[in-house]
Structure 1
Amino acid sequence: MLVWVYWIVGLTLVTYISVQVIKRYPQYGFAALTGFYIIYLGASQVLATRIILFDLGFYTFFAPAAVFIYPFIAQVIDMINEVYGRRSTQVAILIAFATQVLLILFIAMVNTLSPAPFFAFEDAWKSLFGLSIRITAASWIAFILCSNLDAVVFAALKQRFLERENKFRYDTSLNPYIWLRSSVSDAMNLTLDSMIFVTLAFFGLMPVIPLIIGQIVSKNVIGFIDNPWFVWYKRMLKWPFAKTRQTRSGSDTKRYVVVLVLLP
């Protein structure tokens, strides 16, 4: 149960802080969201080294611990896309990819060094951070393909249903078109990522079908559960944003208008 408390606190902090930065300091909004995106992505690489048991009562399976936070990576892509558009989202994806390449290079660099004679955790270090070229390549290929697919699908759905979304007269949290683009784009991202990564990384070494099913189920369940945070993000970015920015100076108001234009 405690894991869900940590999970909720993490998502809530990232979502709330992101909105506040975008509203108060629009020029730093993209940087803030990209920063959170990179943190979640880097953390998922570390957490993936631990395999955990999922017991749903009626079905039990194993999956990397990263499945708890990896779906929110797709959510952050949506958050960037919602405000800054597809092209900026793809720039953020490339920046995040570059940081992961650097992370691997740094780990490989440290692995070439000799451990201190009194360092008692060398075997544990190697078991956690011993690099597999095949797994690393599979991870990179899946990330680039699926993240860009997410960005394209989200932007296409937003454009396709923008008029209907704007005509919706009830509360933003009930708008089905906001839920639609986030849910569909994330589900496609997470499902395809599981299929590509597991197949490229483990085909011929172990049965891949159970691994694929386990990752698809766990990622999509958690991805669906975190959708309300995107809707909350969208809701906070609407009219309170306009009232807040209109009380600022003239130069600030201009910055506010630029950001607001990107919001339906």
Structure 2
Amino acid sequence: MIASTDPSPTARLMPQGLFVFTLLYGGMTVLAGVLAYKQVQLWPTDLAVESGIFAFLLLVVISSTIAQLYGRDYAKRIVWWGFLPLLIASLLMQLVLGLPASTEMLEGRADDLAAFERVHSTVWRVWAAGPAAYIVSLLLNIWLFDRLRGSGEESTFGLMVRGAIASALSQAVDSVIFITLAFYGLFPIINLLIGQIIAKVVLSLVLVPPLIALAVKAARWLDNRPSGD
């Protein structure tokens, strides 16, 4: 008897759009921490925001897209499992930082080595603050995004409005948690806190809605499903 060449039932259970966005989500959890070291100015104001927010907003977009098309429960599981690549990346980084550098790097590229270690060596409070803010804000975003969903067919505009509201509120909470846990007692945090909240809310209102609409269309295209499904 010739064995069947059809995909297994398990392989057919995960839609292609869900598979692709799950991979992207894992990558963004790691990249957000790497990018956070640089502060960028939000032109034309003097407000600054840590650049990890751009990867973090993509986490918001991806989790909202998954909640929209595949259900809130799956989106919540993705958020919890997002700790796994974050944990592995953190452990690998500590391993690499602890390993001795090559002779060539010590003698010829000492500045590069110092820059690498300076960027990737962070205090324990920042390592603790990031995951705490991550889990609370993303679960809050999914809950708000789902609760604001009405009955019946939804327009693209309605999808974007829900995304904007959920992201703006969850990012404000994210800023309060992260900055308080990471920096309270080290220096006055009020100005930084206000600036971060304003910057993240503005970015949430401007960037997240069109990105969610685009991501939902992309996932539907990958799944080969009609736009109304």
Q: TM-score range by the shorter chain?
A: 0.7 to 0.9
Matched positions, count: 210
Change (3 A) 1:111 1:28: same
2:164 to 177, 183, 186: 183
Tell me, what secondary structure is at the counterpart of 2:122?
Answer: coil
Write out aligned runs for 1:68-107 (5 A).
68-107=54-93
Q: Which residue of 1 aligns with 2:5?
A: none
TM-aligned CA deviation for residue 204 of structure 1: 0.7
Taking the aligned partners of 2:93 and 2:40, their CA distance within structure 1 comes to 24
After superposition, give the CA deviation of every residue in 1:147-182 in whole Å (9 maximum; x if it has no partner).
111111111111xx224xx2x7xxx33x4x323321
Tell me, what secondary structure is at the counterpart of 1:150?
Answer: helix
Q: Structure 2, unaligned stretches of length 5 or more?
A: 1-12
TM-aligned CA deviation for residue 51 of structure 1: 1.9
CA RMSD of aligned residues (A): 2.5
Deviates more, 1:81-90 or 1:44-53: 44-53
After superposition, give the CA deviation of every residue in 1:28-55 in whole Å (9 maximum; x if it has no partner).
3222111112222322211111122334
2:179 to 198, 209, 215: 198
1:128 to 119, 125, 129: 119
| Paired AA for residue 139 in structure 2 | N
1:230 and 2:212 are equivalent in the alignment: yes
The answer to whether the 8 Å contact 2:49/2:200 transfers is no
Q: Percent identity?
A: 22
| Paired AA for residue 160 in structure 2 | W
The answer to whether the 8 Å contact 1:70/1:219 transfers is no
Q: Which runs of 4+ in 1 moved over 6 A?
A: none
1:49 to 27, 37, 46: 37
The answer to whether the 8 Å contact 1:44/1:70 transfers is yes
Q: Which residue of 1 aligns with 2:4?
A: none
| Paired AA for residue 125 in structure 1 | F
Write out aligned runs for 1:13-162 (5 A).
27-56=15-44, 59-119=45-105, 120=110, 121-158=112-149, 161-162=150-151
Structure whose residues are more often helix by fraction:
1
Change (3 A) 1:114 1:231: same
1:219 and 2:200 are equivalent in the alignment: yes
After superposition, give the CA deviation of every residue in 1:225-249 in whole Å (9 maximum; x if it has no partner).
22122224445677xx6xx95xxxx
Taking the aligned partners of 2:214 and 2:151, their CA distance within structure 1 comes to 18
Change (3 A) 1:118 1:41: same
| Paired AA for residue 144 in structure 1 | I
Taking the aligned partners of 1:181 and 1:55, their CA distance within structure 2 comes to 26
